[in-house]
Chains A and B, each alone.
Chain A
Amino acid sequence: MHPFRYVAASSIDEAVAVLREHGARARCLAGGTDILVQLRVGRYELDALVDVKGVPEVSALRLDRAGLEIGAAVPCYRIYEDAKVHAAYPGIVDAATLIGGIQIQSRASLGGNLCNAAPSADGIGPLIVHDATVVVAGPKGTRTVPVEGFCTAPGRTVLDDDELAVSVHVPRPPARFGAAYERFIPRNEMDIAVAGVASAVVLDRSGKRIESARIALASVGPTPVVAAKAAASLVGELASLDAFRAAAEIAAGEASPIDDMRGTIDQRRDLVRVLTRRTLELAAQRAAAGAAR
């Protein structure tokens, strides 16, 4: 591995200063489960790695009336072991429990998942259907970017070389909201999604019809794919298997998968169809269960 400086930053300013100094030859370290592997195989070289886990905002997990603030380096286990987060954000918890094995979940973070920008990322779709935003800090201060627009290409994001992701803000879900994430892998655990789907629905006051929906697809495009037409088809419909099947068909058309070692275009479209239907059903169940509480 090309030798690099390890800097444990304790503030955003300190982290930004190191990023500025080294430009594209410095990056942030959260759990290291992607970046250390990439450095070891020589995908790129860095002169400095800025450990941001000691930056308070980057390691905080806070749930309040405004929603959920997930520091960009908060490891998966802290998300799913928090009983309140578990109850209020099951779609995000679905992803946090699926990423890697227990060892990986001790370290890997949703912020890291975002910055790594893999098309197959499990953590990004659930954040999109929750309308989450990323707080980004740089030399000129902070800005907010919707998760939906954060990834620009495989491995690329809107972050400038001297910027870092500080936290992910997930707004408090409206009443009668439910979300779910599922993926397909050929093994039981520890694998990369052949395809994944995150869905969210909001039911109307009757609890029978869909007021709004959001669907995001993983591993079927260069970045996470928002299936906007599929989601729009559900508005005003009864929360029924027929409506979910119809939306799933549209979502399969909105996917733009490729053939690769993990799966074929046809298989991936078919998986989108199945997983969209399943996650919509689960999201609607969760929305109804939440409304009943």
Chain B
Amino acid sequence: MTQAQLSKAHVRCELNGQSVEFLADQHMSLLEALREVLDMTGTKEGCNDGNCGACTVTMDGRIVDSCLVLAPEADGRRVETIEGMAPPGGLHPLQQAFLEEAALQCGICTPGFLVAAKALLEREPQAGEHRIRHWLAGNLCRCTGYDKIVRAVLRAETPQPKPRARRSRSA
């Protein structure tokens, strides 16, 4: 079967909070569709086989390697990419922390790390170092040696609420 014989898939999804509709080859990955059809090049291609996590996006709130998702599978789903992370005119606290901790060098892995770390901290605001390292095991960085990345995510964690002095109501 040649590509010409196959019609394109019509995909409708919510991308970074906005409804989008696009056509993609049926065998196209979500990563290719984002970068080449939708011109959203923030999501990076690293290994293209699910090892490096550079292409991490969330689908219905779960992090996935977008190279291992077919574009038509995104139909009807909620997809979030690095482009949806920063609030207008500012940076997400994780992005700010990555800058302050110098948690990037070449930057190819950074969008994937940020999207993955955001999903973790939304779930577990005080995840802690061990959990952060475990959660980010599916993201590879060949520059930083990981320590700076882990420090940045720790910095972006919600501080533990300070224990308030308790007064007994009956007193």
The reply on B29 being an interface residue by CB < 8 A is: yes
Complex contacts, A5 vs chain B, CB 8 Å: 1, 6, 26
Asked if A106 and B137 sit within 8 Å, CB to CB, the answer is: no
By the criterion CB–CB under 8 Å, are A190 and B27 in contact?
no
- Size category of the A interface is 20 to 34
CB-defined contacts of A206 to chain B, threshold 8 Å: none
Instruction: List residues of B (4-40) whose CB comes within 8 Å of A's CBs.
Output: 6, 9, 25-27, 29
Residue of B nearest to A35 (CB): B68
- A36: nearest chain-B partner, CB-CB: B68
Task: Say if the beta carbon of A159 comes within 8 Å of chain B.
Answer: no
A-side contacts of B26, CB under 8 Å: 3-6
- In the bound assembly, the distance between CA atoms of A188 and B9 in angstroms comes to 39
Given contacts A5-B1, A37-B50, A102-B63, contact A188 B137 (CB under 8 A): yes
Please report the C-alpha to C-alpha distance between residue A32 and residue B68 in the assembled complex, in whole angstroms: 6
Query: A190 vs B139: C-alpha distance in the bound complex, in angstroms?
Result: 10
A103 and B27 form a contact (CB under 8 A): no
Given A37-B68, A106-B62, do A4 and B27 touch, yes or no (CB 8 Å)? yes
- Interface majority SS on B: helix, strand, loop or mixed? mixed
Given contacts A103-B56, A107-B64, contact A51 B73 (CB under 8 A): yes
Residues of chain A lying within 8 A (CB to CB) of residue B56: 103
- Considering the complex, give the chain B residue whose CB is closest to the CB of A107: B64
Q: How far is the CB of A273 from chain B (nearest CB, A)?
A: 27
Nearest B residue to A189 via CB reads: B137
Q: Are B68 and A29 in contact (CB under 8 A)?
A: no
Q: Does A1 contact B (CB under 8 A)?
A: yes
Residues 6-37 of A, flagged 1 when their CB comes within 8 A of B and 0 if not, give 10100000000000000000000101110011
Contact flag A29-B70 (CB < 8 Å), given A3-B6, A37-B49 = yes
Most buried by B among A8, A29, A102: A102
Bound form: Cα–Cα A99–B79 in Å:
23
A184 proximal to B (CB < 8 A): no
Chain B min CB distance to A79 (Å) = 14
Q: Which residues of A sit under 8 angstroms from B65, Cβ to Cβ? A: 33, 103-104, 107
CA distance A1 to B48 in the complex (A): 12
In the bound complex, residues from chain A placing their C-beta under 8 Å from that of B50 are 33, 37, 100, 103-104
Q: B9 contacts which chain A residues (CB < 8 A)? A: 6
Query: A243 vs B33: C-alpha distance in the bound complex, in angstroms?
Result: 57
Cα A100 to Cα B25 with chains together (Å): 28
Interface residue from B6, B27, B68, B135 paired with A1 (Cβ < 8 Å):
B27
- By the criterion CB–CB under 8 Å, are B27 and A6 in contact? yes
In Å, the complex CA distance between A107 and B72 comes to: 15
Interface flag for B158 (CB, 8 Å): no
Tell whether, in the assembled complex, residue A189 and residue B134 are in contact, meaning their CB atoms are under 8 Å apart: yes
Of B29, B70, B138, the contact of A100 (CB 8 Å cutoff)? B138
B51 adjacent to chain A (CB < 8 Å): yes
Q: A6 and B68: CB pair below 8 A?
A: no
Does A242 sit at the interface, judged by CB under 8 A?
no
Question: Which A83-122 residues have C-beta < 8 A from chain B?
Answer: 100-104, 106-107
The answer to whether B72 and A103 touch across the interface, beta carbons within 8 angstroms, is no
* A32 and B69 contacting across the interface, CB-CB below 8 Å: yes
Task: Write out the residue numbers on chain B whose beta carbons fall within 8 Å of the beta carbon of A47.
Answer: 1
Chain A residues contacting B75 (CB-CB under 8 Å) are 8
Known: A49-B70, A77-B62, A101-B138. 17 other contacts (CB 8 A): A2-B27, A3-B1, A4-B6, A4-B27, A5-B1, A6-B70, A33-B68, A36-B67, A51-B73, A100-B50, A101-B139, A102-B138, A103-B50, A103-B56, A104-B138, A188-B137, A189-B134
28 contacts between A and B (CB under 8 A): A1-B27, A2-B1, A3-B1, A3-B27, A6-B9, A6-B70, A6-B72, A8-B73, A33-B50, A33-B68, A36-B29, A37-B68, A39-B27, A40-B48, A40-B49, A41-B49, A51-B73, A77-B62, A100-B138, A101-B53, A101-B138, A103-B64, A103-B138, A104-B68, A107-B64, A107-B68, A107-B69, A190-B137
Q: What are the 5 closest A-B residue pairs judged by CB atoms, nearest first?
A: A101-B138, A189-B137, A6-B26, A106-B62, A3-B3
